[in-house]
């Protein structure tokens, strides 16, 4: 390589042959260093995230017994699903949870963000107060609300007694339990989403709003034509994020597991809780893996649809 045809410019001839070689080794050293820096995390993510993901699709074709023996069953696990009423009911429950929780959490946290957007006395404490429920664990949240909602004697029953609602069993009535779970989830997550909205609102230039105000725009018009359009990427992020969280987040497991164990009469049995039961209560690992693949497919489809509908949150036309 060094001895190949000499370049026509003699002045460069001395340094030329050397430079590519030197930078080659520098490049290689840099690459090697980079791979070494990346190795622990990349290997860890491969072993504990990517491999399980791939494995789910493999194990779905097996029946796994209590002793960990695998036997190939083809599509049998998927055929089982067609007649699994509890699966369909838990899919329906997760669906209802998503379409109630996501909009409610969106509106509440957005309203809170608008409320604590501009400075006032004690704003620091107010913001922290809204965020505080998100700091304690979902197990604690579940226990807190179980206690507050104890039939007849709990704090909520006491509060509602003057309205004649003291006897309502919010966690014991199938038709009310899911709604109760939605409200508790909103209470838990509103502070986090509020912070996300606040970060988005920071990017809305004050001058634009002031200009609109000088032009005679009402508060609603300033919101509708200035803030809302500029906030679209943030709104999109919040919707996608909270949809994913509602289907597969810890809120779909920890909270129901502690609060209701999926009851009463399976009224709060989410898909992830059902998968957990299939895997670890009934030891149907293969079936649980097949269910996992279905949830992944649904999730990919939903996020894909959201991206398609909103063009990645840009909403260019309106």
Partner 1 sequence: MRTRFFPILAHVLAIIAVAPLLWILISALKPAEDVFSFGWPSSWTLDNLQYVLLKIPMPRFLLNSAIVAVIVTVVALFFHSMAAYALARLRFPGRGLIFSGIMSTLLVSLPVILVPLFLVAKQLGLLDSYAGLIVPSIFHAFGIFLLRQYYLNIPRELEEAADLDGCGYWRRYWSVILPLSRPVLASLSVLFFLANWNAFLWPLTITRNPDLRVIQLGISGMQGQYASAWNLILAAAVIAAIPTVVVFVAGQKRLVDAMKTTGMK
How far is it, in rounded angstroms, from Cα 16 to Cα 266?
A: 76
35-43, 87-95, 209-217, 307-315 -> range binding partner 1 (CB under 8 A): 35-43
Neighbours of 87 (CB within 10 A): 20
305 touching partner 1, by CB under 8 A: no
Instruction: Give per-residue burial for 218-254: e unless 16+ CB within 10 Å, then b.
Output: eeeebeeebbeebbbebbbbbbbbbbebbbbbebbbb
Three-state SS across 181-226? Answer: HHHHHHHHHHHHHHHHHHHHHHCCCHHHHHHHHHCCCCHHHHHHHH
36-44, 71-79, 206-214, 307-315 -> range binding partner 1 (CB under 8 A): 36-44
How far is it, in rounded angstroms, from Cα 39 to Cα 318?
A: 46
DSSP 3-state of 72: strand
The beta strand positions in 50-96, using DSSP E, are 62-64, 70-72
87 touching partner 1, by CB under 8 A: no
Q: How many residues bind partner 1 (CB under 8 A)?
A: 95
38 touching partner 1, by CB under 8 A: yes
List the interface residues with partner 1, window 43-62 (CB under 8 A).
44-45, 47-53, 55-56, 59
List the interface residues with partner 1, window 254-283 (CB under 8 A).
254, 257-258, 272, 275-276, 279-280
85 touching partner 1, by CB under 8 A: no
35 touching partner 1, by CB under 8 A: yes
DSSP 3-state of 71: strand
7-15, 135-143, 168-176, 205-213 -> range binding partner 1 (CB under 8 A): 135-143
List the interface residues with partner 1, window 92-131 (CB under 8 A).
112, 115-116, 120-123, 125-131
Contact pick of 73, 102, 138, 171 for partner 1 (by CB under 8 A): 138
List the interface residues with partner 1, window 214-253 (CB under 8 A).
234, 237-238, 244-245, 248-250, 252-253
DSSP assignment, residue 179?
Answer: H
List the interface residues with partner 1, window 167-196 (CB under 8 A).
187, 190-192, 195-196
65 touching partner 1, by CB under 8 A: no
Cα–Cα nearest to 108, from 133, 137, 141: 133
């Amino acid at each position: 390589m060094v001895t190949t045809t000499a370049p026509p410019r003699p002045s460069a001839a001395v340094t030329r042959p050397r430079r590519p070689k030197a930078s080659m080794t520098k490049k290689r050293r840099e690459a090697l260093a980079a791979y070494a820096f990346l190795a622990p995390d990349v290997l860890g993510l491969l072993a504990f995230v990517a491999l399980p993901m791939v494995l789910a699709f493999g194990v779905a074709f097996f029946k796994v017994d209590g002793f960990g023996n695998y036997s190939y069953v083809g599509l049998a696990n998927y055929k089982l699903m067609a007649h699994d009423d509890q699966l369909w009911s838990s899919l329906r429950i997760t669906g209802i949870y998503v379409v109630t929780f996501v909009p409610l959490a969106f509106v509440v946290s957005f309203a809170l963000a608008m409320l604590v957007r501009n400075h006032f006395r004690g704003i620091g404490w107010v913001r922290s107060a809204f965020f505080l429920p998100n700091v304690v664990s979902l197990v604690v949240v579940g226990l807190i609300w179980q206690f507050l909602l104890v039939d007849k004697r709990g704090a909520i029953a006491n509060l509602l007694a003057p309205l004649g609602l003291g006897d309502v069993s919010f966690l014991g009535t199938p038709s009310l339990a899911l709604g109760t779970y939605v409200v508790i989830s909103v209470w838990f997550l509103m502070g986090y989403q509020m912070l996300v909205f606040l970060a988005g609102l920071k990017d809305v230039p004050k001058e634009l709003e002031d200009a609109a105000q000088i032009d005679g725009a009402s508060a609603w018009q300033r919101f509708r034509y200035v803030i809302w359009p500029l906030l679209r990427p943030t709104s999109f992020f919040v919707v996608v994020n909270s949809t994913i969280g509602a289907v597969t987040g810890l809120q779909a497991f920890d909270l129901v597991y502690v609060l209701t164990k999926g009851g009463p009469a399976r009224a709060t049995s989410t898909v992830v809780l059902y998968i957990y039961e299939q895997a670890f209560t009934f030891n149907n690992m293969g079936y649980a893996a097949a269910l996992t693949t279905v949830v992944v497919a649904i999730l990919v489809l939903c996020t894909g649809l959201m991206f398609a509908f909103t063009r990645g949150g840009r909403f260019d036309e309106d």
